Amino acid sequence: MSDRELYCDTCEGVVLFEAPTCVDGHGADCPELVCTGCGAAVLIATFAFRAPRLAQRHAPTAPPHRRAA
């Protein structure tokens, strides 16, 4: 099991959280944690962010230029 200290909203303070035995195969990197004080469960969500490349963006099209009469 993996233990770490995090803020618990229910306990209103920093408490020890532990990861229960993971049945999904995450091992030590399991995103599910349980507060050892009150039993509240949290899910640590991680994601990868990739910014769009500037070359792939399309330049905005300008409206047609109007000429004076």
Question: How far apart are the C-alpha atoms of 69 and 58, rounded to whole Å?
Answer: 33
pLDDT (tens digit per residue) in 23-53: 888 777 788 899 999 999 998 877 777 777 7
**DSSP class of 35:** E
Predicted confidence at residue 11, as pLDDT, reads 94
Predicted confidence at residue 10, as pLDDT, reads 93
Closest by alpha carbon to 37, among 59, 17, 63, 57?
A: 17
Closest by alpha carbon to 30, among 20, 41, 16?
A: 20
Confidence of residue 7 (pLDDT cuts 50, 70, 90): very high
Q: What is the mean pLDDT of residues 9-33?
A: 87
Burial (CB < 10 A; 0-12, 13-18, 19+), residue 32, is middle
Domain residue ranges in the chain: 3-46
Q: Is the pLDDT of residue 63 over 70?
A: no
